[in-house]
Each structure stands twice: as C-alpha cells, then as structure tokens.
Structure 1
Amino acid sequence: MITSFYFYAAILVVFGLFFVVFPFIRKEKSIETNPNANALRISDYESRLEELSQEVETGKLSEDAYNTAVVEQKQALLQELAPEQQLNQHGNRSVIALTASLFTLTFCIVFYLMTGSFNLLTQWQDAKDNLPELGKRAVLQQGEPLSNNEMQELALGLRTKLAEQGDDEMAWLLLGRIMLMLNDYESANMSFDKAIAMNANNINALVSKAQVLMLEGADHSINQAAKVVSQVLKIEPSNTDALSMLALIAYERGDWQQSLAAFELILGRMSETNPSYAMLNARVEELKVKVAQQSNNSEQNSVGQGLSVSVNITLADELKDQLPANGVLFVFAKAENGPPMPLAVVKKPQWQLPLTVTLSESDAMVAGMTFAEFKRVKIVARISIDDKVDTQAGELEGHTQGFDIEQINQVNLTIDKLL
C-alpha cells in the first residue's frame, strides 16, 4: 500500500512539473544562421553609410535627412541580427525552467509534510503488518501485556482486516474486547452485536456485551444487561460469569433474595483456597442479614396493609422477543364487577421476569376504593412501552380470572397477550 502511494504521488508530481516546465521548453521556430551572415550585414550597413555621406556632399541629401537615414539603417541592422538574441534568450529559458521545477518539487514536499497524513498512513501499514503478533499477545497472553498504544494499533488492524476480508466472528469479538479495555463502550457494544448477529449462541460475546451494558450504568442498560444474562443462563446455566453479573444486577436493584441465591451458587462451586472465596462469603453473609431484615419489614408492613395479594408474574415464551425496549411494568387490581378505576397499582420502571409483586390496600389510587370495598378482584399486568398506564399498540398484557381476595392471597399471572 505504501509503495502504491509513492507510485501515484510520483505520477502526480511529474504531471504537475510538466505543466510548469512546458512553457519554457517547448520547441521554438528554428532559425537557420550562417556564420558569415552577420559580417555581410555589417558590410552592407557600412556601404550604405558611405553612400549617404556622398549624397550629403553632393547636396542631394540634407543634414537632417542624413541623420534620420542613419538611425533607420542602425535599426534595420539590429533586426537582422535578432537570431543571435533569440539564441541567447533560449539559454535563459532553460535556467528558468530548471528553477521552476526545483521550486515546484520543494513546495510539494513541504506542503505534504505540513498538511498530509503520512504518519497516519505509516501507522495504518504498521497495524496491518503487526496484526498477527499483537493478536497472539492479546489472545494467547504471550509476551508482554499490550500497552494502550498497542491496543489502539491492534484495533486499527482488526478494523482493516474486517473491511478487507469481510465479517469474522472471532475478529469482531476480539475487537469488542479491545475497545472495552480502551473504555470505548459504544464501539465495544457494536462489535459484540456483530459477533452475536453471526452466532446468537456465542457465550463469550453475550457475556462481554452484558459487561459493557453494566459498565455504562444507565437504568435501561442494566435492564438490557439482565436480559442478556438471562439468555446466557438459558444456554449455559452454570456459567460463572453470567451468575456473577446476575448477582450484581440483583444487588444493584435491591433484590437481596435473588442476589443471595446467585452468590450462594457461585460460592458453592468455588474452592475455599480461591482468593475470592473470603470476599464472596462476606457478601453472602451480608445478604442473609438484608434478606432477614426485608422479611421482618414485610411482616410488619403487612399488619397495616389490610387485605393484600402476592402476584407471581411470568412471561409467555412466544412473547420474549416482543418485549418493548426500556418497558415499564404496571401491575394493578380491578374489581371483577365494578368501576374501571384500579383498586391498587404498582409501577416498576426496573424489573426482570419472573417477578413477585404484592398489591395491598396501601397501593390504592382513590380513597374509598380498596379491596375492602370490592371483595372479588382480578389482577392485570402490563408491560408498557413508556411510563404511561394508557394502553398502546405493541404493549404486552396478561390477567387473572376473578377471585375472592379474602380467601386467596397469592395468584399466578402469565403475560401472554400482545396488544
């Protein structure tokens, strides 16, 4: 590639020099000169002057006319001697052409060095040449760890390979990991998506994508990371990385029970000699305390809640690909035979199914419209595309049959309908 650049650059320079030099070197009309021609012209000039002098002496020509005639003869002689001047001028034009060529060439070199991308072109070529070695060091951990500059060089080489040779699952995965180490989360996420598009069951790409989403830290990113982790665990239930992220996601959401279950599962597969064992064990003990406190608080709160119902919510398998991006979960209870206004509503911007939600009289929307007023109720769960309770096309919904809330305090609900 560098050789081609030099070749085409040389062609352009030569082409430019041609336009600069051509006016000075183009072939002029040839003038044949006789070595004795100038001597004859001078002799004729002197003879003509003698004739004019004789005419003045004989009175045929006045003094003023004589002087005018002499000037005309001198001008005619100079014109006849013009071939010598043209030859001298031709020699001067060659010097000008050479000078113009040197100036043009120097200007082109200086201008390119100041404004061109020669260094970037060289770096690009080096990235292509060093790709096998850098890739081996990155994948096989051979030699010294890659520096920040070497990771950028490896990323450039991988992009070039993908552009020239087409999509490659491993290349996209490696590029994503390099961009993740460079803290370029957007490029890393895009690279992992490319690898997943080529192989939806690529565990490494799915786990890496979940890591990127968790590092982004936004609520919608965390929700998406949870979905990716769930996909990994369906393919490989014992994947330690996925279990670790599931535990962390649940911990961030305050779901102590799920976080504890995930951490206990990881800890049960880990040797006590593992350096991370003590840290995870401490986290498990911390979560046990939190779960106990949460259970006590729930029992205390239930005393003042009056009637309540626990709703175990799941999602139908055929709708898992229809989940709205950044959807909000609404769970509400309505009277089986009564006004359309919900008796109790719970809104969850962050959620992950399956999920258990408790509806109680403390969740009532309007005073006087509670479970105590309407004994038979039905539960509705809806995944909204925004944070509004109004139904819209593309939302998912499910509901239970009517039941007596005084006799039943736990129901199962499956979201199985696409609106």
Structure 2
Amino acid sequence: MTLFWISTVVLVLVAIALLAITLSSKKANNDEQLRDELNKAFYKDRLSELEVENEEGLVENQQDLIDDLKQSLLDDIPQQKVQKDNVNISPMAILVPSVALVVILTYGMYMHFGGATKVKNWQEVTANLPELSKKLMAGSAEPMTEDEMQDLTLALRTRLHYQKDDATGWLLLGRIALANRDVTTATDAMEKAYRLTPNDDDVKLGYAQALMMSQDEMDNNRARGLLTSLIQEEYVDLRVFSLLAFDAFEREDFPGAIRYWSIMQKMIGPEDSRYEMLSRSIESAKARMGEPIVEGKSIAVTISLDPEVRVPQDAALIVSVHPADGSPMPVAASRYPLGTFPRTVVLDDNNSMMEGRKLSSLDGLIVRVRIDSDGNVATRDGDWFGESQPAKLGDTVEVSINQQY
C-alpha cells in the first residue's frame, strides 16, 4: 500500500512540473520592438520620399510635413506601454491555484471513485489467509461465518492468481465452492488440483464430489471411476462409500446403496452417532425396493465391464446365482437396467426362482452375469457374460463381463 501512495505522489509531482515548465517557458512578447523597428523604417522611407518630392517641387513646406511625421511616431509609443502593462501577469499567480486544483482533483476523485476502502479490505483479507485456512481445515466447533467464507474465497483467488501451481490452494477453493453449492467453481478448482497432483487421494475424492454434482452423465461416470479407484486403496475414506451409496440411491440401484451403507456401518461401529442415520437410510432403500432384504442371507455382486465390450443402449443386465457345482438352473436371479459400470447389486431370498429352495439354503454358490441384448432370456447368441469364482453367502463377489457366447 505504501508503494501505491508513493507512486501517486510521484505522478502528481510530474504533472505539476510539466505545468510549471509550460508557464515558465511562455514565449516573450516582442510586438513592441517589432513595431518600433517598423515605425523607424517607415519614418526613414517617408523622409526619403519627401526629399524627392521637394526636389521635384511637389512639396511647399517640407519642414511641416517632417514635424507631422515625427509626431505620429511619438503618438504610437504610449499606447504600446499601456498594452504591455495590461498583459503583465505573474506565472506564480497561475501556477499556485493550478497545483492546488491538480492535487484536490487527483486525490478527491480517487477517494470517491477509486475504492480505497475496498482495496484496503482486500489487502487485509489477503494477509489473513493463513488464519482463515487453518480455521477451515481444523473444523473447529464454531463454524465459519458467511463473511469469513467470502473473505477466504477472495484471499484464495488472489493467491492462486500469482501461484497457479498451488494444488492445496485449488483443493481448498474447491471445498469452499462445494460447501456453497457452486458446481462450476468447484469442478474447475478440483480439476486444476487433480491435474497438479493426480495421485493424491484427497484431491481425487474432492474432484469426484464436484463431478457428482454435475448434471452431465459423463462427469458422473468419471466420478464413479475415481471413487472405484479409491476403493482399491489400502485405506478407504468413509466419504467414498457415502458418495457411492448416494449415487446408487439416486440411480435407483437400491441394493447397491444398501451394500455401501452397510459397509459404512461396519467401519464406524454401533457406538457412532451416525450408525442410526445409516440404518434409516438402509430402511428407506428397502422400502423403495418394495420388500425387505434378509439380513445375513444375501450376496453382493460387484460387476465390471471389460473395455472391449460393446453394449447396445437398450440392453438389460441379468444376474443369476447358481449352486457351486455349476448347475445351469439358477436358484435366484434378477433383471436390472443396464446402468453404468462398475456397479454393485445385492440378491437375497426375495430373488429365489424355485419353490422350496431359497438362496439362503446354499452352502456354496457361483454368480453369472449376462448382458441381454434382445430382451429374450431364452436366446444368448452374441451376448456378453461373466462368471465368478465359488463363494458363500455374505461374501462380496466380483464378476467381470469379458466373454461372449
């Protein structure tokens, strides 16, 4: 700020110096001198003419004419002196009020239109960035006010303008935008952070959160891919399963949502205050399904799609559970909309196919998944499918669709 005011003083002094130079270099008025020389030249010429006229006898009284000519020359001198007295104004009389006017106009207009108060506030907020960031990251009992969030956003934007490679700053800006439901800012900030540190789990999670808020299905698919990669890490953040559960619920993949919420319950334990909230979410998903899931007697199937598989848009997903001996007749099966991959579905006794034989009666099982391309379960030509390894009830089974009939 001090440098700014010094620069304004320098500029004002330069303007005053230019004004002073202009006034001091005023062109001298030489009109009197020029007129005197002209009068003298006229007087001499007229004398010469009178001599010639006298010699020719054209002038009767030469001396009278000479006296009149001299008088005319003398009459012109006082008038020039009066005019000189009238225009003799001191340069200081102009310079002093001009300097005052320049100073008053310069600083007066800046104070009125220049936003000096806002600039000062902006600099104070920028200087307070470390303290605001610490308060946000610490998650203190006293939440940040709306004004503090706005100040933090302003300070972060200022810092990131000069330090574009600050991944932590972009991540922090993205989190603030997520809290304010500003999808565009959140996505842009998280994307910049992800490009700078693509292997950072916190950045991946933040970017996935921002993409999940988008209305674009491609963004949602990319978010699911990021979340799936996070599940494969040695430590998985609880928020990863929360996002996957919410996404599955929104897509009406209620078994998948229940599966993720159940995993979250196992991670936090019954003593956690969030346990009951997750139980209510699970009950809500069960209600949306129409029938309850039998606890402890279900099988969760995580399905992935091989990159080479090309699936028709109107295809359906058929998941069937068979005895471990590989019997072609399924004990339980369910049909789902194709949706997106990877995805998780859950089958239980409600999906049983045969009277008197339920899924819960199986000691061992295998899961087969098929993409039905024509809507007829009896035909399989050209359909893609996959099969799991032998498993037991309660396990999480993984199936990759990578074969074709």
- Measured against the shorter chain, the TM-score band is 0.5 to 0.7
Q: Which residue of 2 aligns with 1:73?
A: 74
Residues 138 and 12 (structure 1 numbering): CA distance in 2 closer, same or farther, change over 3 Å?
same
Tell me whether 1:379 sits opposite 2:379 in the alignment: no
The question of whether the paired residues in 2 share the 8 Å contact of 1:244 and 1:262 is answered with: yes
Moved more, 177-186 or 126-135: 177-186
Q: Which residue of 1 aligns with 2:13?
A: 14
Tell me whether 1:24 sits opposite 2:13 in the alignment: no
Residues 371 and 214 (structure 1 numbering): CA distance in 2 closer, same or farther, change over 3 Å?
closer
Residues 414 and 281 (structure 1 numbering): CA distance in 2 closer, same or farther, change over 3 Å?
closer
Q: 1:415 Cα deviation (Å)?
A: 5.3
Q: 1:7 Cα deviation (Å)?
A: 2.1
Residues 143 and 134 (structure 1 numbering): CA distance in 2 closer, same or farther, change over 3 Å?
farther
Q: 1:78 Cα deviation (Å)?
A: 4.7
The question of whether the paired residues in 1 share the 8 Å contact of 2:175 and 2:206 is answered with: yes
Q: Which residue of 2 aligns with 1:148?
A: 146
Residues 178 and 216 (structure 1 numbering): CA distance in 2 closer, same or farther, change over 3 Å?
same
Could you report, residue by residue, the CA deviation over 1:198-223 in whole angstroms, capped at 9, with x for unpaired residues? Answer: 33232222222222233345544433
- Secondary structure of residue in 2 paired with 1:378: coil
Q: Which residue of 1 aligns with 2:47?
A: none
Q: Which residue of 2 aligns with 1:49?
A: none
Structure 2: gaps of 5 or more residues = 31-60, 294-300, 318-335, 346-368, 387-398
Q: Which residue of 2 aligns with 1:135?
A: 133
One-letter identity of the residue aligned with 2:11: L
Tell me whether 1:85 sits opposite 2:73 in the alignment: no
Tell me, in whole angstroms, the C-alpha distance in 1 between the residues paired with 2:7 and 2:291.
76
Q: Which residue of 1 aligns with 2:178?
A: 180
Residues 276 and 144 (structure 1 numbering): CA distance in 2 closer, same or farther, change over 3 Å?
closer
One-letter identity of the residue aligned with 2:175: R
Structure 1: gaps of 5 or more residues = 32-57, 296-310, 334-345, 365-369, 381-398, 401-411
The question of whether the paired residues in 2 share the 8 Å contact of 1:195 and 1:202 is answered with: no
Task: Map 1:243-282 onto structure 2 (within 5 A).
Answer: 243-282=241-280
The question of whether the paired residues in 1 share the 8 Å contact of 2:286 and 2:292 is answered with: no
One-letter identity of the residue aligned with 1:11: V
The question of whether the paired residues in 2 share the 8 Å contact of 1:169 and 1:194 is answered with: yes
Task: Map 1:25-104 onto structure 2 (within 5 A).
Answer: 25-26=24-25, 61=64, 72-79=73-80, 85=85, 89-91=88-90, 93-104=91-102
- Secondary structure of residue in 2 paired with 1:377: coil
Q: Kindly tell me the number of residue pairs found equivalent between the two proteins.
A: 317
Q: Which residue of 2 aligns with 1:314?
A: 304
**How large is the Cα RMSD of the aligned pairs?**
4.4
Could you report, residue by residue, the CA deviation over 1:34-61 in whole angstroms, capped at 9, with x for unpaired residues? Answer: xxxxxxxxxxxxxxxxxxxxxxxx9965
Q: Which residue of 2 aligns with 1:407?
A: none
Under a length normalisation based on structure 2, what TM-score does the superposition of the two structures give?
Answer: 0.63
Tell me, in whole angstroms, the C-alpha distance in 2 between the residues paired with 1:149 and 1:135.
14
Tell me, in whole angstroms, the C-alpha distance in 2 between the residues paired with 1:172 and 1:10.
38
The question of whether the paired residues in 1 share the 8 Å contact of 2:256 and 2:343 is answered with: no
The question of whether the paired residues in 1 share the 8 Å contact of 2:305 and 2:341 is answered with: no
Q: 1:188 Cα deviation (Å)?
A: 2.0
Q: 1:69 Cα deviation (Å)?
A: 6.0
The question of whether the paired residues in 1 share the 8 Å contact of 2:316 and 2:372 is answered with: no
Task: Map 1:233-244 onto structure 2 (within 5 A).
Answer: 233-236=231-234, 238-244=236-242
Q: Which residue of 2 aligns with 1:167?
A: 165
Q: 1:378 Cα deviation (Å)?
A: 1.9
Could you report, residue by residue, the CA deviation over 1:86-114 in whole angstroms, capped at 9, with x for unpaired residues? Answer: 8x8242x3211222222222222233334
The question of whether the paired residues in 1 share the 8 Å contact of 2:136 and 2:144 is answered with: yes
